[in-house]
Amino acid sequence: KAGVTQTPRYLIKTRGQQVTLSCSPISGHRSVSWYQQTPGQGLQFLFEYFSETQRNKGNFPGRFSGRQFSNSRSEMNVSTLELGDSALYLCASRTGGDTDYGYTFGSGTRLTVV
Amino acid sequence: AQSVTQPDIHITVSEGASLELRCNYSYGATPYLFWYVQSPGQGLQLLLKYFSGDTLVQGIKGFEAEFKRSQSSFNLRKPSVHWSDAAEYFCAVGGYNTDKLIFGTGTRLQVFP
């Protein structure tokens, strides 16, 4: 069974640009969440999606957005990049059932803003 | 406020020694508790989880954790550490009907031969 796939693995962008990160969940998983990991702030929740609906959003500015498609694949977008957006962005998925908790994480996308 | 505290930033043990990583949480509802491990440059791997029932849970790689409601703790243990266990360990808390996990700051484990 394939795991959670995140693309690209590494990305270098210039301040002011925008970026789109992609996440393909495990087959059959309908719930996808995104986290930002930085040395200073640790792991912080960005948003969660279930069946194409955003169910929860973390405390991030509106420059951070996301969406989920009908096949459960998800994308997150960051506009007007700032140096502080440099981080490892992790996507995680689970089936979404009430008795199945414990996300499976992807390997992440390492974003560097210069 | 919801939070997770991992008081040990860095722990060093000898291979074969026992290990205990501490985790304390603050959560308003019934907590769902998790331990994840992260190797450098990699994502997070779930070691074990607790939702309800037996307060001692077994996980992968020989790890176990004990939920103590009275102490708001969920400490991770392993009787004999292997060099391959060197990594960063994260404790996290979540709840029913929310997929938002709150993570601790992590404990970096170093293993000496």
pLDDT tens readout for residues A11-35: 999 999 999 999 999 998 899 999 9
User: From the list B99, B102, B104, which residue is nearest A55 (CB)?
Assistant: B99
- Give strand ranges (E) for chain B: 3-5, 10-14, 19-21, 24-26, 32-38, 44-50, 56-58, 64-68, 73-78, 87-95, 98-103, 107-112
Residue showing tokens 């957005």: A65
8-state DSSP, A103: P
Tell me the C-alpha distance between A89 and A30, whole Å.
Answer: 19
Is A50 close to B44, i.e. CB distance below 8 A? no
Pairing of strands A31-38, A19-24: unpaired
First to last CA, chain A: 37
In this model, does residue A99 exceed pLDDT 90?
Answer: no
The pLDDT of residue B35: 97
Q: Above 90 in pLDDT, residue B29?
A: no
Q: Taking chain B, what is the end-to-end CA distance rounded to the nearest angstrom?
A: 41
- What digits encode the pLDDT tens for the residues A33-64? 999 999 999 999 999 999 999 988 999 999 99
**Local structure of B17: helix, strand or coil:** coil
| Token pair recorded at residue B28 | 């308003």
- Mutation to test the B interface, candidates A101, A107, A112, most B Cβ within 10 Å: A101
Q: Is the dihedral of CA B112, A41, A20, A31 positive or negative?
A: positive
> A50: which chain B residues are within 8 Å (Cβ-Cβ)?
99
How much of chain A exceeds pLDDT 90, in percent?
80
What integer pLDDT is reported at residue A65 of this predicted model?
97
